[in-house]
């Protein structure tokens, strides 16, 4: 991907090394839908994600103190990665600032929070093991940059455009939030507890498609290099629920999926990448491959 290092975005909050207010390990406060997801993750991966619900040793409701972060020693390679992430964030948000008025909404910037090990968000506390996530309550994306090492080594999906896909997928959730899609989805989940996972899959696949819409814009602006699109597709395939279940030695069970299969994730990213149109990303209206 063609880009020029140029500092850190104003929309990046660097909390690396800051830890949690009051010390201790994180304890997530979630609803029943989130609890169901943690149960599924525990069963699929063999890791005890329910342990994240244990209370912290520090005050749970203490605000994050931006004035006194702990010192963090960043390597030159990590400094360059921060600049790349900043470039992708700014480029994606500039793209949505242009595109979203066509869907009847003005885009507002999200913040990207960099952290290590664990972080306190508006949605509760989280550990790096849970991967990158978007919190609609504070409109921020959270990522431990160590995830990219895992994406390359564990999931076999290297490359800068694969890294960009991760960020733009989470920004896709922010776009959903601005459009009110996530709120409608949560309401549907409350009304249909039997469809919680299926609705979650459609939300995630739509975020994949919206990441593809951004990818389309980069192609139009000639900042893609040969092989970039393949990197994003490889990343989407690598973190499909079916592939993760197989990698964990578990049987493939579509009823437990929360993000969609490798085939679904690739298909919806490609759809957004090919068309570049928000209206082509309606996973709630259109048939999702393999979902029947």
Q: Please measure the distance between the N-terminal and C-terminal CA atoms of the chain and give it in whole angstroms.
A: 37
Q: Per residue in 256-279, is it b (16+ CB within 10 Å) or e — as a string?
A: bbbbbbbebbbbbbbbbbeebebe
pLDDT, position 288? 62
How far apart, in whole angstroms, are the C-alpha atoms of residue 245 and residue 45?
7
Q: Does residue 140 sit in helix, strand or coil?
A: strand
12-281 folds as Collagenase (Catalytic Domain) (3.40.390)
Chunked into runs of 10 residues, the chain (292 residues) has average pLDDT values of: 87 87 47 43 42 41 50 87 95 97 96 94 90 95 92 78 92 97 93 91 94 94 83 79 72 78 90 95 77 44
pLDDT of residue 207: 96
Nearest alpha-carbon partner for 144 in 171, 173, 112: 112
Backbone φ, ψ for residue 29 (5° rounding): -110, 115
Instruction: Please state the length of the chain.
Output: 292
> What dihedral do alpha carbons 227, 147, 166, 87 form, nearest 10°?
-80
* Torsional sign, CA 238, 239, 242, 248: positive
Tokens representing 277 are 């149109």
Element (H, E) at 111: strand 111-114
Question: What are the φ and ψ backbone dihedral angles of 222, each rounded to 5 degrees?
Answer: 60, 40
Global pTM reads: 0.80
């Amino acid at each position: 991907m063609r880009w020029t290092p140029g500092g850190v975005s104003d929309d990046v909050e660097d909390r690396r090394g800051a830890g949690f207010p009051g010390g201790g390990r994180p304890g997530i406060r979630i609803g029943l839908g989130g609890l169901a997801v943690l149960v599924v993750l525990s069963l699929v991966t063999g890791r005890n994600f329910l342990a994240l619900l244990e209370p912290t040793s520090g005050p749970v409701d203490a605000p994050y103190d931006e004035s006194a972060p702990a010192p963090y020693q960043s390597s030159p390679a990590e400094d360059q990665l921060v600049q790349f992430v900043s470039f992708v964030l700014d480029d994606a948000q500039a793209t949505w600032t242009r595109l979203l008025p066509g869907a009847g909404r003005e885009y507002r910037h999200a913040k990207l929070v960099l952290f290590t090990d664990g972080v306190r968000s508006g949605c509760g506390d989280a550990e790096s093991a849970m991967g990158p996530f978007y919190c609609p309550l504070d409109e921020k994306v959270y990522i431990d940059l160590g995830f990219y090492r895992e994406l390359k080594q564990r999931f076999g999906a290297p490359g800068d455009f694969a890294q960009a896909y991760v960020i733009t997928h989470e920004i896709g959730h922010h776009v959903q939030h601005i459009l009110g899609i996530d709120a409608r989805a949560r309401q549907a989940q409350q009304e249909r507890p039997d469809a919680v996972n299926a609705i979650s899959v459609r939300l995630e696949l739509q975020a994949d498609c919206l990441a593809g819409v951004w990818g389309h814009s980069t192609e139009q602006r000639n900042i893609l290099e040969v092989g970039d699109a393949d990197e994003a597709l490889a990343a989407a395939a690598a973190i499909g629920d079916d592939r993760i279940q197989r990698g964990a030695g578990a049987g493939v069970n579509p009823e437990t999926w929360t993000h969609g299969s490798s085939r679904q994730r690739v298909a919806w990213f490609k759809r957004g990448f090919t068309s570049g149109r928000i209206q082509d990303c309606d996973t709630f209206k259109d048939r999702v491959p393999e979902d029947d």
